[in-house]
Every structure is written in C-alpha cells, then in structure tokens.
Structure 1
Amino acid sequence: MSGETARGAGRPAAEAAQDDIVTAFQVDALDLRGRTVRLGSTLDQVLAHHNYPPAVKRVVGEAVTLAVLLGSSLKFEGRFILQTQTDGPVDMVVADFVSPDKIRAYARYDVAALAEAETRNATSPAALLGRGHLAMTIDQGISTNRYQGVVVLDGSGLEAAAHEYFMQSEQIPTRVRLAVGEEVKAGGAASSWRAGGLLAQFLPQDASRARMADLSPGDAPEGTAAHAVDEDDAWVEARSLVGTLEDVELIDRDLSSERLLFRLFHERGVRVFDPRPMAAHCSCSREKVSGVLASFSTDERREMIQDDGKVTVTCEFCGRTYKFAAEEVLGGQTDS
C-alpha cells in the first residue's frame, strides 16, 4: 500500500460520507487487505453519454465498480481494461480504468432482446450479461507486453466471475461485493445513480495458510474424490463477515466507507488508509483518432469518406465526434 497513509489508530470512524473514492483497508488480526469503492457523480458522468435503459445502467455500474476495485491496485501508470463478450441482451461491456484515478465505460445491447428479457422479469445484471467470457487486461504502455486474464461468465454475474478469476489465476482467497442503485428524486427531477463495492483478500505471511483446492483436471476417472483443503479459520471468519454486507450499505450516501468498515471488522480492529479520489474521464483526442485512421489502408480510408467529403468518428465512450476532411485522411491522395 505504498503511497497510502493509515488513519489515526484508535480514533472514531469518520461519520461524514464521501463519494467517488477508493479506500484501502487492512485487518491485521485476519491477515486481510482490501479496498472499498464509493461512486456517485462519477458514475452519473460515465452514464450520461449514453441513453441506456435503467437495467443496462446497472450492468455498466457493476462493471465500472469492479474495474475501479481491481485497477486501483496498480502501482504504476497504466491501464486496466475489463471487457465482457457474452450471449445475453447486453453482449459487450467495456470499462477502462487509467491509473491512478480515471474511469470510462460503455455497453452494447440488443433492444429487442432486452425487451424480451423485461417481459420475463429477467433483468438482473447477471441475467442480462448471460454466458460468455470476461477478459481483464493490464497495459503498461508500448514498451511492455500486455497481461490478460480470461475467465468464463456462466450466467452468475461479475462477482462470481471475479471470484473464479482469483481462484484460477492468482490463487488468492478473495471476496468481491458489488452494488448499484438508482436514486429517484421527487418533483420529476432526473434520477441519479450510485455504486459501491468491496474487495477483500486473505494475504497471510505464511503462504501455505492460503492454499486452495486444486482445480479439477477435467479427465479424472469417475468416482475420483475432489481435492479439498481445510480453509484457514481467519479466512473463514473474514469471508463470513463480508457475506453479511447488504447492497444498501455499499451505496448508502449517509454511511461513510470508514463507518462501513468499522461495522464489519471492529471486533478485530481495522486500519483504514487515506481515500483516493476517482473521476470520470475519457482519454480520446483528435490526435489519437487520427492515429487510428492512419492504421487503415488507403482504400479502407477512402471508403470511410461520406457524401459531404468528410470522415466522421464518434467515441463510443464519451460520444464526442471528430470530423476529418478527405485530404487529412488520405494525406493528399484524393484521386480515385
């Protein structure tokens, strides 16, 4: 937790709630470390660029929260990209976190499939995502190879997929909680959205205490007993405490992150670190879009030119539109 400062030991937990922050914490008695996320206006700003139905906004809200929980652990300047590809009504979601504090996101959905899901009352984020895969990519820049982890989405949603990822790829006992809610305001005022999340990981100094059962090889003879490992008591207790969290606690605008953590772990003693602010921000620019266009062949760029003699590109994340004259796109090669 380099760069983060622990709040004064023994003082009362802060009562004043604060939005758009990530707060790291540590429970030494349980060998537990983690982070909480609280998003208010930042989530509204991410969602404002698209006219998503409420059910789709919940899906995007969960993806944004998970991306911030995981991306905020980066100790270097880089990008964490969370992307789903699934067979559900919301068949793709991308949440793009740029360290240390910038997030953007968008989703693609099928209007007819979403309407059909609504008739079946199957509009939970897990149901709308359906089955497919979740890819998590860490990009440190052009001088470093990307790292990507892929995990199956089996219809259980992003929380379950995150648990599966840490079990398979990182071998770290982990629990994730995500919550998204809409605040409906009186008098016909526009509603707002809130999201919250918590990530807790069991990280004892003796790594053998965090051993997990071996994954099934898939070809074991019928009747072979599954490998089992007795879980450490500290992790069992920590996991049980995290399991008591209610969605409303994660998004309650009157409940501070410190007070929430005190509720969970006060009997064991919890150290809370200074919060870090988060903000909605899109990194698109005219220069970057021009660079993308330059990656296409001359014939492909010529086909992009519209009847008005321009190429128009709209950023999927923020909705900003960039227009380029044919000469800019073709580099002066305007002859057919």
Structure 2
Amino acid sequence: MSGETASGDDRVLPFQAEGLDVRGRVVRLGPAVDTILRRHDYPEPVARALAEATALCLLLGTTLKFDGRFILQTRTDGPVRMLVVDFQAPDRVRACATFDAAAVAAAVAAGRTGTVELLGAGHLAMTIDQGPDMSRYQGVVALEGESLEAAADQYFRQSEQIPTRVRLAVAESFAAGEGPAWRAGGMMIQFLPAVPERMRQADLPPGDVPEGADLAAPAEDDAWVEAKLLLGTVEDHELTDPTVTSEDLLYRLFHERGVRVFESQPIVEKCRCSREAVTGMLRNFSTAERRDMVADDGSIVVTCEFCNTRYEFDPPAVEALLAA
C-alpha cells in the first residue's frame, strides 16, 4: 500500500485496488455527524437514517472535480418524510431530516426501525449544482423497499452503467468518561477496467417480456465478483470503529491484490446560512406576506432547518433595508 496516510475521523479516503480494476472511497465520520444529529436531538432511528444518508452523500459528492454542490434528498411516504444532505465541495456538509414524530414512535413500538421501513416508498434524488451559470444535473431512482445502499447501486447501473457497490454503517460509541457519540462510515467500490466490454451487466427488464420468461444474464467478470465478495465481508463495526483506520480496513480486504490509497479529503460540518442570506430570502416575499410572519412579540423569526440557528429581525428595519 502506498500513498499519504492521513485518514481518521471526518475524512474520505480514495483508493484503487489495481489487481481487481476497482476504484473506491472510504468515509469515516465522527464529530461532524455527531454535531449534525445532536443539534436536532432526533429520535434514534431517524438519526441513524440521516447518518447513513450523510455517509452516502459524501462517498458520492467528494468525486466532484469542481467547486460545486452535491445534494442528496429522499422524498417518501414513510415516517421519515425527507432526508436532505447538502455537500459543498471540497469539504463542507450539512444535513437535516423531516419526520412524523407520532409515526416514528409507532414504528419504534412495532420494532420497525430500519432505514428501509422508516423511509417507505418514494424516490432518492441526487443533484449536482455547479453554480448559477451552469445547468443543474439531477438523477432520480425509485425507493420501493430498497436500502440506500441498493438505491445507490441502482442509480449507477441506470445512469452511469458503472458496476457499483456501497456499504454503509452507523453506530453510537461510548468512550470512557464521555457521553455517547454518533459515528458513521461507508465504502464504495466501482469496477472500472481498461476494456469497457468487461463492465457488461444484465439489462434492465423490458416491459414487454412474457411472464415467466427466463432472461439469461451475462456472466460477470471474475475480478468484479471477487471485489463484491470481499466488500461483503466488511462488518459494520469495521466501518465505524475509531481504532480501525481506513488504511487498516483496505489492507485487510485487498492486500493480496494490491491496494493504493490517495490523499484523503477532510470533511467539516458547516452550514451555509447567514443573516445576509436570510435577509435575501425575505426579499422573495411580499410586504403583506412578511407582515403575516410577525410573531406576537413583534419580531420576525427565521430558524435554519439545517443548523437550528435562530435569526430575529425587527419588521420596520427589514422593510427599510429591503426598500433601500
């Protein structure tokens, strides 16, 4: 194994297993994801779902080769209505969840606390925003009882035709003398051989196939089969244990085939909201609409959904500012 060893908490480590024609990334989140989740005091299963989504967003978003945003968002009919993770390249992330508290409590009482059960049916959207002068790109994949891992695999199969596998894990750690802290981790591998024909996958089922018809799938490349089997051996604790570094894990998996790591990317939890941005948002409302926002104490209060920062405005001052 060669390359810069700079892994640890709140970092994404790119790697390449050359003997298997595989490239990938490992993400490990500690204080960043814990700050996001503790700030909102989410119920445990909601926190786990949002932590999974955050790890997935960073595995995908850190592949951007430009300064832009990668936004991962679910909209579903389950107890957790929406997950939003907003990654601003090269290193900033923020995230939030919208959920039905009563429905989540009922799901917990019934033992249905997995991410798949909490999300229900809907879709997962991934948006690349390169700024106001560039068009947005959005890919959407259905969520119909699939995990976020499976949805990501399906997305790459449909839109990129790149064989991909993702593993995600979330845990609470309990350090001596400290309270519990959330951790999350993930690994993504992609099969990228020099010869494109080796990447062939089974076609998506056509709509006019007779019921019961046997569709022969093309044989998968032996290297990709081996890579998937190796990823399948990864335990959740290996992705979240702070004593197991990303390099250690990659060596365990791929040392017989050879693995090379590259410079890791640090991740910071940081919201993009500001008083100036909120003032600009208020400009989008009419004077009558802003008047309706005035609370009983005579102020306008706006709370950021991501970081819970509270912005308080004096209505006459707002009108004078916006009229200037």
Q: Deviations over 1:237-296 (max 9, x none)?
A: 111111111101111111111010000001100001122211111010111111111112
Q: Distance in 2 between the 1:327 and 1:157 partners?
A: 49
Within 5 A, what are the aligned runs for 1:61-210?
61-185=51-175, 189-210=178-199
Identity %: 57
Q: Distance in 2 between the 1:311 and 1:180 partners?
A: 38
- Report the Cα offset of residue 36 of structure 1: 0.1
Q: Distance in 2 between the 1:141 and 1:17 partners?
A: 30
Contact between 1:135 and 1:150, CA under 8 Å: does it hold in 2? yes
In structure 2, the residue matched to 1:247 is 236
Shift of the 17–207 alpha-carbon distance from structure 1 to 2, 3 Å rule, reads closer
In structure 2, the residue matched to 1:26 is 16
In structure 2, the residue matched to 1:219 is 208
Q: Deviations over 1:213-255 (max 9, x none)?
A: 2212223333444352211111111111111111011111111
> What's the secondary structure of 1:48's corresponding residue?
helix
In structure 1, the residue matched to 2:270 is 281
> What's the secondary structure of 1:195's corresponding residue?
strand
TM-score (norm 1): 0.91
Q: Distance in 1 between the 2:259 and 2:144 partners?
A: 34
Within 5 A, what are the aligned runs for 1:249-268?
249-268=238-257
- Report the Cα offset of residue 206 of structure 1: 1.2
The partner residue of 1:324 within 309, 313, 320 is 313
Contact between 2:56 and 2:168, CA under 8 Å: does it hold in 1? yes
- With 163-172 and 319-328 compared, the bigger mean Cα shift is at 319-328
* Structure 2 residue 36 is matched with structure 1 residue 46: yes
- With 178-187 and 22-31 compared, the bigger mean Cα shift is at 178-187
Q: Distance in 1 between the 2:171 and 2:322 partners?
A: 52
The partner residue of 1:7 within 3, 7, 11 is 3
Q: Distance in 1 between the 2:199 and 2:287 partners?
A: 55
TM-score (norm 2): 0.94
The partner residue of 1:272 within 261, 273, 278 is 261
Q: Deviations over 1:53-75 (max 9, x none)?
A: 11111111101100111101011
Q: How many residues align?
A: 323
